[in-house]
Amino acid sequence: MRGLILLMALGACRDDPGVAVYPDRPIFVDVGDDFFDGSTPWEGQPRLSLGAFYEGGATETVVIDDVVNHFYVYSSTFLVNLSTDRVEGLSADEIVASNVGWIGGGIHWDSPNDLSDWTTMHLALQSDNTDYNALTIGMNGGEVEVSVNASDYGFVADGDWHDVTIPLGDFNGVDITQVGVALILLADGVGGGASLLVDDVYLNQE
């Protein structure tokens, strides 16, 4: 039975991120045909798991322990559920917007990590709510935050799953050797109850 992690309030970078319940799940579970390998199955190649939105194998993992590594929901803008509609693992994460007009959340590290060995970020995204066409993906390093439009990398809120691959160099200005926020999900103009599925998130060398 999956446990639940209660996320604590963030002390920096965002005002009053609030709290959220994030489903805890194993880093890697071999359960035969029920476990999906994703669009690019892991076969030992270099891969960094950010500890959220991914259940498969990796050569390195930064575990979200809620002590020094956290997943924050900014200002209680959404809840996270599990969905069996997935492309990888046993489940995807469903972001369900609160009725505040936007969503925002991110993976925060108390001590910055050097990501210079990695070249690309991979995500799988799905929504049938066009509010999420405004979704941006961001990163913060060296006190510089940069976001890019998910739509520029092939995502469209049409109800289908889309693989999104972003070169880390596109986060132009971010100090990739001093990353404190590895993933930022933001979207303005999102109505209450709007759903976004996120899965198969990792960094690789391509």
Domain segments of the chain as ranges: 4-204
Q: Are 173 and 158 in contact (CB under 8 A)?
A: no
Beta bridge partner(s), residue 59? none
What the block records as the tokens of 177 is: 């050797």
**200: Cα separation from own chain's centroid:** 9
Q: Name the residue type at position 48.
A: L
Q: How far apart are CA 77 and CA 98, in angstroms?
A: 5
Average pLDDT, integer, range 115-141: 98
| 134 φ/ψ angles, rounded to the nearest 5 degrees | -90, 10
Q: Is 16 helix (H, G, I), strand (E, B) or coil?
A: coil
pLDDT at 34: 87
Residue 139 has what pLDDT?
98
pLDDT surpassing 50 at residue 31 = no
**Which residues, in sequence order, are bridge partners of residue 144?**
141
CA–CA dist 90, 84 (Å, integer): 7
User: What confidence score (pLDDT) does residue 107 get?
Assistant: 95
Which token pair is 35? 């476990």
What are the tens digits of pLDDT across the range 59-113? 999 999 989 999 999 999 999 999 999 999 999 999 999 999 999 999 999 999 9
Q: Which amino acid is located at 116 in the chain?
A: S
Domain 4-204 has CATH 1.10.3720.10: no
pLDDT digit string (tens) for 35-64? Answer: 999 999 999 999 999 999 999 999 999 999
